[in-house]
Amino acid sequence: MTSPHRYIPMTEQDQAEMLETIGVSSVEELFRDIPASIRYSGTLPMSGALDEWSLMRHLKQLAGRNADADTAVSFLGAGLYDHHIPAVLPHLAGRSEFYTAYTPYQPEISQGELQAIFEFQSYICELTGMAVANASMYDGATALAEAAALASAHTRRKRVVVSRAVHPEAREIVRTTARGLGLDVVEVGLRDGLTDPQALAAAVDESTAAVLVQSPSFLGTVEDLAALGTLAHESGALFVVSANPLSLGLLEAPGALGADIVVGDAQPLGIPSSLGGPTCGYFAVAEPLMRRMPGRIVGQTVDRDGKRGFVLTLQAREQHIRREKATSNICSNQALLALCASIYLSVMGKTGFRKTAELNLRKARHAARTLGGLEGFSLSFADTPFFNEFVVKLPEGTDLRQLELALLEEGFLGGYDLGRSYPELAGHMLVAVTEKRTREEIEAFAAALDRLTRKEALT
Amino acid sequence: MSQPNPTPERLAELRLAGSVDVKPEKALIFEMSRAGREAFSLPPCDVPEDEELAELLPNGRLRRNSASLPEVYEVDVVRHYTELSRRNFGVDNGFYPLGSCTMKYNPKINEDAAKLPGFARIHPYQPEESIQGALELLHTLQDDLAALTGMDFVTLQPAAGAHGEWTGLMMIRAYHESRGEARSKVIVPDSSHGTNPASATTAGLETVTVKSGPDGLVDLDALRAAVGADTAALMLTNPSTLGLFEEQIVEIAEIVHEAGGLLYYDGANSNAIMGIARPGDMGFDVVHLNLHKTMSTPHGGGGPGAGPVGVKAHLVPFLPKPVVAKRTDGSYYFDFDRPQSIGRVKSYYGNFSILVRAYTYIRSYGPEGLRRVSECAVLNANYMMARLAEAFEIPYPGVCKHEFVLSGRGLKAYGVRTLDVAKRLLDFGYHPPTIYFPLNVEECIMIEPTETESKETLDGFIDAMLRIAREARETPELVINAPYTTVLRRLDETLAARKPVLNCSC
């Protein structure tokens, strides 16, 4: 017998008594059904055990080799933002009755989670202006891909039109998903940092299941959703909008502008960046699409005494009932992060949510004016509205990779190098400014950029 | 809560008499709103506010009506979510033998690790030089999981088990296509998880279901009849959802491989075999693990999880990109240069903070500790099965692995169903087992104790089950009307589905 472990209560006496009850003489006998030819006899070549203290020291050493947003001032967004997380949030989401529970299959002892999800669905409907929302998806990008799948199933069409202003990684995931389902993906180009409406009109036809756009776009710009939606609907395609939920504190609800499906990532709502995951996808639809939604949905009902309660519902869509005919294969979702988003929205409330969005806009606006005024810098889409992120063209010949490293030396996480995903925007930086950035930080960042991009600085 | 809690029996009496209301309805956060209250604290606007919002967001972009979020103050928020948490049951509250879900203890150090700023507050687009510690952790975890499963390479990108299934099937499809073969059929046993056929559909493949034999195992003749030139893969959970090890797995692998198909291992039940047998050695080509099961990461009330996928060498070119790789100088990087990749399946690099927890768990045990985990999980399950045989039918006697199934059909004679047994268990403070799954066992009760439960806990649960079986015979109405001690009694699921109310229109 190996030595005891703090997570395992089995004593030698327990083991002896249990084996006797079972009627076998050794633990080994319980594995007699595994053929000898495939038994593993050695010790697996894996990382070894550490005591609790040494393990934490090791983890802190690993973590300490990463530059984090506590030590560097972040102007990096591109889908994941450095927002303030209210102090109460981790305390409440960290209650282990929430995080150590499974999916709420037994509603009588899961009313807390079920009500929290019901409230999350309500919040998402309120922000997006849609009729119905689900309990969450893996992230905003997979939610967008599921929206394309839903649209194809609903319209019985096989073509998906995606704007190039959609997050590049989301477009990649849409393509992977489309390959699985046998859908064609067509990308539509940009004009002034927005989806080119003429190119969109040319790309959409009678075989188009959905038009997928993002607003605020990956480039930070705010689309004219009503116009794009009209183009989609003229050919009978569904109009799918991916939206940063925080922007909806100021931006018109996509549901009021013709969206049939609204998706996005709730990371800005109180979720840490954690190298990109876990975040929380949300998914909301117009009422006629309700029974085609992927994922869990919580509904209100009553118990035997007539008291209000909540249950998982419309399960006839789901994999555990419908198997190969399910609307999606999703099972686990991101419930704990949906809870974080709900707590965030409860804290911010009607006033705080709008104010946060306005702070983002105002501070980004100030940063854009400041950076755009630097010698050799220019704003790439100066006349296009944006939310909390904008594109700035750096002086000719700037090496963005070197610049990022130099900025980090000075305590800044610089913006995203757009040349990574838009060849025509090489030499352009996508700068994110949240409510946390002070005027001083913005101006210090501008000064650092100015200094470091002068020819002599990076050589 | 100042008076002593009444016993379940007393509550049952009171409830049957209709004279007790344990807890009032819980208000929605929206219903707590009072105009003018605030719970937020925001930095001041220290930049010019000279421009009109309507100028900055022209042409209908500016929102006309603010989202009507609740107006509450901080204590409201704290009490609301604290009360909701009290209306929820997690592993920290008690025994949770939910079969196939591996509800083991979620160690606290895992949570502390994930919260370290160097893990929680890093951005995927930071220069690679500034996240070397994170990349080292990911690279080590890839290697550790490959060793554990006997595979050649592991991707950490998938966000959950089903996501891993789809990823694996997409790779299998790409593999066959790269060889110029059109193979469209995925074979699954009738006891498989619902995600298996659903994942096949989303990967553009068709499902063929084969019936299990009378012993609950794959029927080799049925399998031989099902495979052919169109077989893309067999998906198998081993041990199966019945808790049985597929003893003929080597023959099964031969049958599928000879037909030109590949073997997919659904790792939901890996808690039975760590360090004891490896899917790679059984003949599987692709495997996913549910880190939120086997590796103790919390389920979060439904998620997040993580579903890494391991593959044998012939599938490595098709892995989703990027993968974490190591240079000869010891530094780590994201390798995007993978021309045959199926593409990206998840934003950024997967559910990183879940991966941190899983790595922490592995380092808490090491390989010998993990083997002991599986031994104890299997010992606990066999012990429970042996004791419960006194009152419940065991459809598949013999040894089980980490879980087993009972049939509750013997209680039907008294008008008591498996659902009623599950609801009665709530009164004794237990989360019920998985019920009515797998579908091929009548009135199925599927129990998975895990290794982190003591003999006293198992005995307490077994005693409750035996008592409920006795109640079913002697006082069936007591069981049929359960539960009595929960905040709500049984809920009307039909009403919820027939007249859906899916959000608060307040």
CATH number at residue A92: 3.40.640.10
Last residue of a domain, one of A343, A375, A398: A343
Count of domains in chain A? 2
SS3 (DSSP) at A425 = helix
Q: Which of A12, A38, A345, A379 to mutate to test the interface with B (most CBs of B within 10 A)?
A: A38
Q: By the CB < 8 Å criterion, does A419 face chain B?
A: no
| Closest CA in chain A for residue B56 | A385
Whether residue A398 is contained in a domain is answered as: yes
Block residue for tokens 């501008």: A446
Q: To the nearest whole angstrom, how far is the Cα of B494 from the nearest Cα of chain A?
A: 9
Provide the pLDDT for residue B21: 55
Question: What percent of chain A is modeled with pLDDT above 70?
Answer: 98
Establish if B20 touches chain A: CB-CB under 8 angstroms. Answer: no
As to burial, measured by CB atoms within 10 angstroms (0-12 exposed, 13-18 middle, 19+ buried), residue B18 is exposed
Domain check: are A270 and A149 in the same one?
Answer: yes
Closest C-alpha to B349, from B330, B321, B380, B314:
B321
Kindly state whether residue A215 falls inside one of the protein's structural domains.
Answer: yes
Show the tokens assigned to A93: 């989401």
Contact B88 A63 (CB under 8 A): no
**Domain boundary, last residue among A314, A343, A372:** A343
**Which token pair is B74?**
């901080």
How far apart are alpha carbons B45 and A110 in whole angstroms?
42
Could you report the per-residue pLDDT of A254-308, keeping only the tens digit for each?
999 999 999 999 999 999 999 999 999 999 999 999 999 999 999 999 999 999 9
pLDDT band at residue A65, thresholds of 50, 70 and 90?
very high
Asked whether residue A320 carries a pLDDT value surpassing 50, the answer given is: yes
Task: Verify whether the Cβ–Cβ distance B159 to A138 is below 8 Å.
Answer: yes
A63: nearest CB among B133, B299, B490: B133
B284 and chain A: CB distance < 8 Å anywhere? no
End-of-domain residue from the set A313, A343, A373: A343
Q: Which residues contact B92 (CB under 8 A, 6 or more apart)?
A: A96, A97, A100, B106
Backbone angles phi, psi at A262, to 5 degrees: -125, 130
Residues of B in contact with A253 (CB under 8 A): 63, 67
At A168, which amino acid appears? Answer: P
- Taking residues B156-185, report their average pLDDT: 97
| B53 contact residues in A (CB cutoff 8 A) | 250, 358, 361
Mean pLDDT within B43-71:
95
Residue A1 lies in a domain: no
Q: How far apart are CA A414 and CA A422, in angstroms?
A: 18
Which residues of B are less than 8 Å from A333 in CB distance? 160, 302-304
Q: Note whether A325 and A381 are same-domain residues.
A: no
Residue A359: predicted pLDDT: 98
Q: Is B496 on the interface with A (CB under 8 A)?
A: yes
B5-8 CB contacts, 8 Å cutoff, 24+ apart = B8/B427, B8/B428, B8/B484, B8/B485
Which of these, B170, B289, B180, B277, lies nearest to B233 by C-alpha position?
Answer: B170
Task: Please tell me if residue A41 touches chain B, with a CB cutoff of 8 Å.
Answer: no
Residue of A nearest to B506 (CA): A122
- Provide, as residue numbers in chain A, all residues whose Cβ is less than 8 Å from the Cβ of B207: 323-324
Which residue in A289, A296, A285, A290 sits closest to A321, CA to CA?
A296
| Position A355, amino acid | K
Signed CA dihedral, A3, B267, A28, B444: sign only: positive
Q: Is B208 on the interface with A (CB under 8 A)?
A: no
DSSP tag of A252: P
Q: Does B149 touch chain A (CB under 8 A)?
A: no
User: Is residue A128 domain-shared with residue A257, that is, in the same domain?
Assistant: yes
User: Taking a contact as any Cβ pair under 8 Å apart, which residues of chain A between 317 and 336 contact chain B?
Assistant: 318-326, 328-336
Residue A291 sits in the same domain as residue A398: no
What pLDDT is recorded for position B11? 66
Q: Is the ipTM above a cut-off of 0.90? A: yes
In a domain, A307, yes or no: yes
B98 chain-A contacts, CB cut-off 8 A: 102, 105
A369/A239 same-domain check:
no
CB B304, CB B282: distance < 8 Å: no
B2 at interface of A, judged by CB pairs closer than 8 A:
no
Q: Which domain range does residue A423 map to?
A: 73-82+350-457
pLDDT (tens digit, 9 = 90+) per residue, B348-406?
999 999 999 999 999 999 999 999 999 999 999 999 999 999 999 999 999 999 999 99
The per-residue pLDDT for B401 is: 98
B487 touches chain A (CB under 8 A): yes
A355 inside 8 A of chain B by CB: yes
Inspect the interface and report whether the beta carbons of B109 and A55 lie closer than 8 Å. yes
Same domain, A289 and A387: no
Shortest distance between the Cα of A239 and any Cα of chain B, in A, equals 17
Q: Are residues A358 and A339 in the same domain?
A: no
With contacts defined as CB-CB under 8 Å, which chain B residues touch A296? 302
Contact flag B360-A59 (C-beta cutoff 8 Å):
yes
- Residue B133 to residue A352, Cβ atoms within 8 A: no
| pLDDT higher than 80, residue B347 | yes
CA distance B34 to chain A (A): 11
- For residue range B91-102, list pLDDT tens digits in order: 999 999 999 999
- Evaluated on CA atoms A217, A219, A221, A227, the torsion sign reads negative
A129 to chain B: closest CA residue: B67
For chain B, state the CA radius of gyration.
26
Per-residue pLDDT, averaged over B148-168, amounts to 97
Of A142, A135, A130, nearest in space to A285 by CA: A130
Judge whether residue A128 has pLDDT over 60: yes
Tell me whether residue A21 is in a domain: no
Res B7: pLDDT = 67
Probe site for chain B from A6, A25, A66 (most B CB atoms < 10 A): A66
A335 and A361 part of one domain: no
- How many Å separate Cα B161 from the centre of its chain? 7
Query: Does A450 lie in the same domain as A394?
Result: yes
pLDDT value, residue A397 = 92
Q: Quote the crossing angle between the two packed helices B352-388 and A12-22, to the nearest 10°.
A: 50
Q: Radius of gyration over alpha carbons of chain A, in Å?
A: 26
Decide: B385 and B394 in contact? Cβ < 8 Å: yes
Question: Which residue do the tokens 């979720």 mark?
Answer: A271
Contacting A residues, span 186-245, partner chain B, CB-CB under 8 Å: 222, 224, 226
Q: With an 8 Å Cβ cutoff, is B36 touching chain A?
A: no
In a domain, A39, yes or no: no
Residue B236 reports pLDDT greater than 70: yes
CATH number of A368's domain: 3.90.1150.10
**Cα–Cα distance for residue pair B394/B411, rounded to 1 Å:** 13
A38, A66, A80: residue with CB nearest B134 = A66
Residue B19 has pLDDT above 60, yes or no: no
Local confidence band at A449 (pLDDT 50, 70, 90 cut-offs): very high
Contacts of A243 in chain B (CB under 8 A): none
Q: Contact, A283 vs A294, CB < 8 A?
A: yes
String of DSSP letters for B132-186: HHHHHHHHHHHHHHHHHHT-SEEE---SSHHHHHHHHHHHHHHHHHHTT----EE
Q: Which residues contact A36 (CB under 8 A, 6 or more apart)?
A: none
Grade residue B2 by pLDDT with cuts at 50, 70 and 90: very low
The one-letter code for the residue type at B58 is P
Say if A191 falls within a structural domain: yes
Average model confidence (pLDDT) across chain A: 96
The CA–CA distances, whole Å, from A59 to A19, B327, B335, B352, B388 equal 38, 22, 24, 14, 43
Is the domain of A327 the same as that of A372? no
A358 and A401 part of one domain = yes
Q: Would you call B366 an interface residue with chain A, using a CB distance cutoff of 8 Å? A: yes
A430: Cβ–Cβ under 8 A, 6 or more apart, which residues? A77, A78, A218, A219, A220, A389, A390, A391, A415, A416, A418
At residue A322, the pLDDT reads 85
A173 located within any domain: yes
Same domain, A144 and A248: yes
Contacts of A300 in chain B (CB under 8 A): 496, 501-502
- Is residue A295 within 8 Å of residue A135, measured between CB atoms? yes
At A184, is the pLDDT very low, low, confident or very high (cuts 50, 70, 90)? Answer: very high
Report the interhelical angle of B74-86 vs A335-372 (nearest 10°): 150
Listed by number, the residues of chain B in 299-318 with a beta carbon closer than 8 Å to a beta carbon of chain A are 299-305
CB pairs below 8 Å between A and B: how many? Answer: 708
pLDDT > 90? residue B107? yes
Return the pLDDT at B1. Answer: 37
